Amino acid sequence: MSDNPELIGALEERIEAKDALQVSAMLEALPMADRSLVIDRLDDDTQEQLMVLIPPEQAAELLEKMPQAQAIDILDGIDPERAADIIEAFDSDTAADILGELEDEETEAILGEMEPQDAADAREMLAYDEDSAGGLMRSEYLAYSLSATVGLVTEDMRANAEIYTDYDVQYAYIIDDEARPVGVLRLRDLLLSTPATAVTKIMLPRPLVVHHAMEQDELAQLFDDKGFVGLPVVDDAQRLVGVVMRKSVREAAANNVAEDFLKVSGLGGKEELRSMPLVVRSRRRLSWLSINIGLNVVAASVIAAYQDTLTQVIALAVFLPIISDMSGCSGSQAVAVSIRELALGLVRPVEMMRVLGKEMAVGCINGVVLGTLLGAVTLLWQGNMWLGAVVGGALMLNTIVAVSLGGMIPLFLKRMDLDPALASGPILTTVTDMCGFFFVLSMATMVLPHLV
Amino acid sequence: MSDNPELIGALEERIEAKDALQVSAMLEALPMADRSLVIDRLDDDTQEQLMVLIPPEQAAELLEKMPQAQAIDILDGIDPERAADIIEAFDSDTAADILGELEDEETEAILGEMEPQDAADAREMLAYDEDSAGGLMRSEYLAYSLSATVGLVTEDMRANAEIYTDYDVQYAYIIDDEARPVGVLRLRDLLLSTPATAVTKIMLPRPLVVHHAMEQDELAQLFDDKGFVGLPVVDDAQRLVGVVMRKSVREAAANNVAEDFLKVSGLGGKEELRSMPLVVRSRRRLSWLSINIGLNVVAASVIAAYQDTLTQVIALAVFLPIISDMSGCSGSQAVAVSIRELALGLVRPVEMMRVLGKEMAVGCINGVVLGTLLGAVTLLWQGNMWLGAVVGGALMLNTIVAVSLGGMIPLFLKRMDLDPALASGPILTTVTDMCGFFFVLSMATMVLPHLV
Residue with the bigger pLDDT between B240 and A227: it is B240
B346: contact with A, CB 8 A cutoff: yes
Determine whether the interchain pair B429/A325 forms a contact, defined as Cβ–Cβ distance below 8 Å.
yes
Determine whether the interchain pair A40/B365 forms a contact, defined as Cβ–Cβ distance below 8 Å.
no
Among B352, B93, B347, smallest CA distance to A274 is for B347
Q: Is residue B307 pLDDT above 70, yes or no?
A: yes
Q: Which residue of A has its CA nearest to B361?
A: A278
- Count of CB atoms within 10 A of residue B73's CB? 20
Confidence of residue A360 (pLDDT cuts 50, 70, 90): very high
- Can you give the pLDDT at residue B247? 78
Determine whether the interchain pair A321/B299 forms a contact, defined as Cβ–Cβ distance below 8 Å.
yes
Determine whether the interchain pair A330/B265 forms a contact, defined as Cβ–Cβ distance below 8 Å.
no
| Angle at CA of residue B410, ends B408 and B414, nearest 5° | 115
Confidence of residue A2 (pLDDT cuts 50, 70, 90): very low
Using a CB-CB distance cutoff of 8 angstroms, which residues of chain A are in contact with residue B394? none
Q: Is residue B97 pLDDT above 70, yes or no?
A: yes
| Angle at CA of residue B215, ends B210 and B216, nearest 5° | 100
Determine whether the interchain pair A347/B289 forms a contact, defined as Cβ–Cβ distance below 8 Å.
no
Q: Tell me: the pLDDT tens digits for B214-237?
A: 988 788 878 877 767 789 999 999
Nearest to B322 among A31, A265, A300 (CB): A300
- Count of CB atoms within 10 A of residue A146's CB? 14
Q: Tell me: the pLDDT tens digits for A306-317?
A: 999 999 999 999
Q: What is the 3-state secondary structure (H, E, C) of A55-85?
A: CHHHHHHHHHHCCHHHHHHHHHHCCHHHHHH
Q: Tell me: the pLDDT tens digits for B147-204?
A: 999 888 888 887 776 667 656 666 889 999 999 999 998 877 777 778 888 999 989 8
Contacts of A197 by beta carbon, 8 Å cutoff, 6+ apart? A149, A150
Average pLDDT over residues B230-245: 91
Residue A443 CA to its chain's centroid (Å): 44
User: What three-state secondary structure class fits B211?
Assistant: strand
**Which B residues in the span 132-161 are in contact with A, Cβ-Cβ below 8 Å?**
154, 157-158, 161
Type and span of the H or E element at B15: helix B5-16
Residue A382's Cβ-side half-sphere holds a number of Cα atoms within 13 Å equal to 30
Query: b/e for B281-302, b at 16 or more Cβ within 10 A?
Result: bbebbbebbeebbebbbebbeb
Residue A243: DSSP 8-state = E
Confidence of residue A413 (pLDDT cuts 50, 70, 90): very high
Average pLDDT over residues A165-182: 82
Q: Tell me: the pLDDT tens digits for A92-102?
A: 878 888 888 88
Average pLDDT over residues A265-290: 81
Nearest to A285 among B221, B347, B366 (CB): B366
Q: Which residue of B has its CA nearest to A275?
A: B358
Q: Tell me: the pLDDT tens digits for A61-87?
A: 888 878 788 888 889 889 999 999 999
Q: Which residue of A has its CA nearest to B221?
A: A33
Q: Is residue A327 pLDDT above 70, yes or no?
A: yes
- Can you give the pLDDT at residue B1? 42
| Residue pair A328/A432 in contact by the 8 Å Cβ criterion | yes
Report the number of secondary-structure helices (H) and strands (E) in chain A: 24, 7
Q: Tell me: the pLDDT tens digits for A422-435?
A: 888 889 999 999 99
- Count of CB atoms within 10 A of residue A175's CB? 17
- Count of CB atoms within 10 A of residue B368's CB? 14
Average pLDDT over residues A275-302: 86
Interface probe for B, chosen from A154, A160, A191 (most Cβ of B below 10 Å), is A191
| Residue pair B402/B266 in contact by the 8 Å Cβ criterion | no
Determine whether the interchain pair A36/B264 forms a contact, defined as Cβ–Cβ distance below 8 Å.
no
Q: Tell me: the pLDDT tens digits for B378-412?
A: 999 999 999 999 999 999 999 999 999 999 999 99
Q: Which domains does chain A have, with CATH numbers?
A: 5-127 (1.25.60.10), 143-254 (3.10.580.10), 278-451 (1.10.357.20)
Q: Tell me: the pLDDT tens digits for B326-355?
A: 999 999 989 988 988 887 777 888 889 999
B67: contact with A, CB 8 A cutoff: yes
Q: Is residue A167 pLDDT above 60, yes or no?
A: yes
Nearest to B192 among A154, A271, A328 (CB): A154
**Which A residues in the span 166-225 are in contact with B, Cβ-Cβ below 8 Å?**
187-188, 190-192, 220-221, 224-225
CA distance B365 to chain A (A): 7
Q: Is residue A3 pLDDT above 60, yes or no?
A: no
| Angle at CA of residue B366, ends B364 and B369, nearest 5° | 110
Among B415, A116, A118, A323, smallest CA distance to A99 is for A118
Contacts of B60 by beta carbon, 8 Å cutoff, 6+ apart? B86, B87, B89, B90
Determine whether the interchain pair A336/B261 forms a contact, defined as Cβ–Cβ distance below 8 Å.
yes
| Residue pair A318/A450 in contact by the 8 Å Cβ criterion | no
Among A436, A413, A415, A416, smallest CA distance to A424 is for A413
**CA B394 to CA B396: how far, in whole Å?**
5
Total CB pairs under 8 A between chain A and B: 298
pTM exceeds 0.80 for this model = no
Average pLDDT over residues B411-424: 87
Interface probe for B, chosen from A274, A285, A339, A391 (most Cβ of B below 10 Å), is A274
Using a CB-CB distance cutoff of 8 angstroms, which residues of chain A are in contact with residue B267? 333, 336-337
Q: Which residue of B has its CA nearest to A189?
A: B158
CA distance B134 to chain A (A): 22
Across chain B, what does the average pLDDT equal?
87
CA distance B42 to chain A (A): 13
Using a CB-CB distance cutoff of 8 angstroms, which residues of chain B are in contact with residue A297? 322, 377, 381
Q: Which residue of B has its CA nearest to A378?
A: B297
Alpha helix positions (H), B178-264: 187-191, 199-202, 216-226, 246-264
Q: Is residue A89 pLDDT above 50, yes or no?
A: yes
**CA A67 to CA A258: how far, in whole Å?**
12
Q: Which residue of B has its CA nearest to A317?
A: B317
CA distance B132 to chain A (A): 19
| Residue pair B174/B182 in contact by the 8 Å Cβ criterion | yes
For chain B, what percentages of helix, strand and coil (3-state, to nearest 5) are there? Answer: 70, 10, 25
Average pLDDT over residues A206-224: 86
User: CA–CA distance from B52 to each of B48, B59, B253 (Å)?
Assistant: 6, 8, 33
Torsion of CA B134, B135, B136, B142, to 10 degrees: 50
| Residue pair B127/B116 in contact by the 8 Å Cβ criterion | no
User: CA–CA distance from A374 to each of A36, A37, A393, A431, B307 (Å)?
Assistant: 49, 47, 9, 21, 20
Torsion of CA B323, B326, B327, B331, to 10 degrees: 170
Residue B266 CA to its chain's centroid (Å): 14
- Can you give the pLDDT at residue B165? 60
Q: Tell me: the pLDDT tens digits for B21-73?
A: 899 888 888 877 778 788 888 888 899 999 999 999 899 988 887 878 888 88
B370: contact with A, CB 8 A cutoff: yes
Determine whether the interchain pair A261/B260 forms a contact, defined as Cβ–Cβ distance below 8 Å.
yes
Determine whether the interchain pair A274/B361 forms a contact, defined as Cβ–Cβ distance below 8 Å.
no
Using a CB-CB distance cutoff of 8 angstroms, which residues of chain A are in contact with residue B254? 254, 257
**Which A residues in the span 384-443 are in contact with B, Cβ-Cβ below 8 Å?**
429, 433, 437
**CA B318 to CA B330: how far, in whole Å?**
20
Q: What are phi and psi of A277, to 5 degrees?
A: -60, 145
- Can you give the pLDDT at residue B66? 82
For a pLDDT cut of 90, what percent of chain B falls above it?
Answer: 42
Determine whether the interchain pair A289/B347 forms a contact, defined as Cβ–Cβ distance below 8 Å.
no
A365: contact with B, CB 8 A cutoff: yes
| Residue pair A180/A238 in contact by the 8 Å Cβ criterion | yes
Phi/psi class of residue A116: alpha, beta or left (left: φ > 0; alpha: ψ in -120 to 50)? alpha
Strands (E), B72-158: 143-145
CA distance B108 to chain A (A): 31
Determine whether the interchain pair B293/A188 forms a contact, defined as Cβ–Cβ distance below 8 Å.
no
Determine whether the interchain pair A336/B265 forms a contact, defined as Cβ–Cβ distance below 8 Å.
yes
A372: contact with B, CB 8 A cutoff: no
Determine whether the interchain pair A344/B67 forms a contact, defined as Cβ–Cβ distance below 8 Å.
yes
Among A325, A282, A38, smallest CA distance to B337 is for A282
Q: Are strands A181-186 and A171-175 parallel, antiparallel or unpaired?
A: antiparallel
Q: Is residue B2 pLDDT above 60, yes or no?
A: no
User: What three-state secondary structure class fits A198?
Assistant: strand
A276: contact with B, CB 8 A cutoff: no
| Residue pair B340/B261 in contact by the 8 Å Cβ criterion | no
